[in-house]
């Protein structure tokens, strides 16, 4: 008799293929299916000795029949309609109680809808982070669905997850769309983290005239300190890489136009809808959009000239640039966790924020030493902004002068630092007890009689100025 597979996976692209091999390596027999069988064969060839633990299927029917009941089927197909199409094709072949796990970067609202439509099957939305390497050797995974659905795959997910000092980087975070929501915010933070690093790279390149190769050891040094993280580590490696074709620094032959699949933009739209401040991520998304406007930027440079003067020798130190990144990063993460807290309340999810930070400590793209301290700060006081947690407030006091000096110099020299300046501005707003919105209220009342509150009459919001007749 043919041995039944404990779990199945559909969609053997880079992420799917690697996740299937990871599951096989954990000793779990896994059936695999792909729209084109050639890709399935390629994964089988790559599997080596793991091929014995993989059960390739040539048809969807054969795939479904090879699975032990209740069936557990992971989908790793492109987000959007392909997920719906795949579910529609599967449904007639499934039994009540079977589980579909959507491990792609699905829009959390679509996951919520699919969970509601799933009966008599179950649906689990699983955010998976870590790229190809993570999928193969241990991703960070954010699950949303019923407790019953999660329990069906908890063991296998725990076995394949990244490990942070013995703790698996996977958790059941809430119902239906909650897992994909947290993954979306992870990606928004990822955009800000990457953009800030790119901005500091820009100061070194265009302000200080450093070559990519000269920057590599700087990033390596930073990776030994407070900034220790996967993104800083790969940035150091990228900086020292050479283009095999031309012998130039690899970075110097790459077009400065960044792509995006949409999760960063979704995060920003969602934050705006909830009135949650996410300015560092917004700046990062806009920076990607502008990066793609190559022709318009070239025209702008022709008309107005590039940034006028390089920085004077020694104008900014390596330590100050490091400080800028440390402070900027703390603020971006504080905004991200603030958004998670807001969504958790609005959606009634009760997201366990300390656990979110914990499962981001390894496996995912934004993994960093700082996330361990964030997990501790959120455990102490999950409601408190990270910028007010004693550890991070101390770091901000120490590093804010570096961020301020970096942004000020860059502004003076015409070097754009959108995400870092957004972070600085957020900080300055958040430590200003009396801001300037009294002017906005007066203007609104002047032209529209919208009413305002007076400092000496708190709670009464329909007061007017002398301009209302």
- Positions marked active-site: 183, 190
Q: Which residue is nearest to ligand 6PG (CB)?
A: 129
Name the residue among 186, 191, 127 with its Cα closest to residue 161: 127
**Between 190 and 320, CB nearer to ligand 6PG:** 190
Give the residue, chosen from 11, 17, 264, 418, that forms a contact with ligand 6PG under the rule CB under 6 A.
264
Residue whose structure tokens are 């007749």: 469
Give the residue, chosen from 27, 95, 97, 261, that forms a contact with ligand 6PG under the rule CB under 6 A.
261
Is the backbone of residue 275 left (phi > 0), alpha (psi -120 to 50) or beta? left
CA distances for 329 relative to 13, 109, 192, 371, angstroms: 32, 28, 8, 11
Residue whose structure tokens are 């096989």: 24
**Between 122 and 182, CB nearer to ligand 6PG:** 182
**Between 195 and 208, CB nearer to ligand 6PG:** 195
Q: How far apart are CA 237 and CA 196, in angstroms?
A: 17
**Between 192 and 321, CB nearer to ligand 6PG:** 192
Structure tokens at 435: 């801001």
289 belongs to the binding site for ligand 6PG (CB under 6 A): no
Q: How far apart are CA 228 and CA 373, in angstroms?
A: 12
267 belongs to the binding site for ligand 6PG (CB under 6 A): no
Q: How far apart are CA 468 and CA 444, in angstroms?
A: 11
Choose the stretch contacting ligand 6PG; rule: CB under 6 A; options: 123-131, 271-279, 295-303, 429-437: 123-131
* C-alpha torsion sign, points 323, 326, 328, 330: negative
Choose the stretch contacting ligand 6PG; rule: CB under 6 A; options: 128-136, 168-176, 369-377, 456-464: 128-136
195 belongs to the binding site for ligand 6PG (CB under 6 A): no
Structure tokens at 119: 């009966």
Choose the stretch contacting ligand 6PG; rule: CB under 6 A; options: 255-263, 266-274, 394-402, 409-417: 255-263
Phi, psi of 127 (to 5 degrees): -75, 130
Q: Kindly write out the interface string for residues 141-180 of this chain, putting x where it contacts ligand 6PG by CB under 6 A and - elsewhere.
A: ----------------------------------------
Give the residue, chosen from 118, 339, 365, 371, that forms a contact with ligand 6PG under the rule CB under 6 A.
365
C-alpha angle with apex 64: 58 to 70, nearest 5 degrees?
A: 155
**Between 357 and 395, CB nearer to ligand 6PG:** 357
Give the residue, chosen from 24, 31, 362, 364, that forms a contact with ligand 6PG under the rule CB under 6 A.
364
**Between 56 and 179, CB nearer to ligand 6PG:** 179
Cβ 130 to ligand 6PG shortest distance, Å:
5
Per-residue b or e along 333-356, where b marks 16 or more CB atoms closer than 10 Å to that residue's CB: bbbbbbbbbbbbeebebebbbbbb
129 belongs to the binding site for ligand 6PG (CB under 6 A): yes
187 belongs to the binding site for ligand 6PG (CB under 6 A): yes
188 belongs to the binding site for ligand 6PG (CB under 6 A): no
Rg (CA), the chain: 25
Per-residue b or e along 373-396, where b marks 16 or more CB atoms closer than 10 Å to that residue's CB: bbbebbeeebebbbbebeebeebb
Give the residue, chosen from 8, 11, 125, 130, that forms a contact with ligand 6PG under the rule CB under 6 A.
130
Where on the chain is the footprint of ligand 6PG (CB under 6 A)? 105, 129-131, 187, 190, 259-261, 263-264, 364-365
């Amino acid at each position: 008799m043919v041995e039944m597979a404990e779990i199945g996976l559909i969609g053997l692209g880079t992420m799917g293929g690697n996740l299937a091999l990871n599951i096989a390596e954990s000793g779990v027999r896994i059936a695999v299916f792909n729209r084109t069988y050639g890709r399935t064969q390629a994964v089988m060839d790559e599997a080596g000795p793991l091929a014995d633990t993989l059960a390739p299927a040539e048809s969807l029917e054969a795939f479904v029949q090879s699975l032990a009941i209740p069936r557990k089927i992971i989908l790793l197909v492109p987000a959007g309609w392909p997920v719906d199409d795949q579910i529609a094709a599967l449904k007639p072949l499934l039994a009540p109680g079977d589980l579909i796990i959507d491990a792609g970067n699905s829009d959390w609202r679509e996951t919520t809808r699919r969970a509601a439509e799933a009966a008599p099957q179950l649906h689990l939305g699983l955010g998976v982070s870590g790229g190809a390497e993570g999928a193969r050797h241990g991703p960070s995974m954010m699950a949303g669905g019923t407790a019953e659905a999660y329990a069906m795959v908890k063991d296998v997910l725990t076995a394949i997850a990244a490990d942070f000092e013995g703790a698996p980087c996977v958790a059941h975070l809430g119902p239906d769309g909650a897992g994909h929501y947290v993954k979306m915010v992870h990606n928004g933070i990822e955009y800000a983290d990457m953009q800030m690093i790119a901005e500091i790279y820009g100061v070194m390149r265009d302000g200080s005239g450093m070559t990519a190769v000269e920057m590599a050891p700087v990033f390596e040094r930073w990776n030994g300190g407070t900034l220790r993280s996967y993104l800083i580590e790969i940035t150091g490696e990228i900086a020292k890489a050479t283009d095999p074709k031309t012998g130039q620094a690899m970075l110097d032959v790459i077009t400065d136009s960044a792509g995006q699949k949409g999760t960063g933009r979704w995060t920003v739209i969602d934050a705006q809808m909830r009135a949650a401040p996410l300015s560092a991520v917004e700046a990062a998304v806009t920076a990607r959009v502008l990066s793609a406007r190559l022709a318009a930027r070239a025209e702008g440079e022709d008309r107005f000239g590039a940034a006028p003067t390089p920085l004077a020798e020694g104008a900014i130190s390596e330590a100050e640039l490091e400080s800028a990144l440390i402070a900027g990063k703390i603020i971006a993460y504080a905004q991200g966790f603030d958004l998670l807290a807001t969504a958790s309340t609005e959606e009634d999810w009760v997201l366990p924020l300390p656990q979110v930070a914990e499962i981001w400590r390894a496996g995912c793209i934004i993994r960093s030493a700082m996330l361990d301290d964030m997990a501790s700060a959120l455990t102490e006081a999950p409601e408190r902004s990270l910028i007010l947690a004693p550890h991070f407030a101390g770091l901000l006091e120490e590093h804010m002068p570096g961020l301020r000096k970096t942004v000020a110099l860059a502004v003076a020299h015409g070097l754009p630092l959108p995400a870092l300046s957004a972070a600085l501005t957020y900080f300055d707003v958040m430590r200003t007890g009396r801001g300037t919105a009294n002017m906005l209220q007066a203007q609104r009342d002047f032209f529209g009689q919208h009413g305002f509150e007076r400092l000496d009459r708190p709670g009464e919001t329909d007061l007017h100025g002398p301009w209302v007749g």
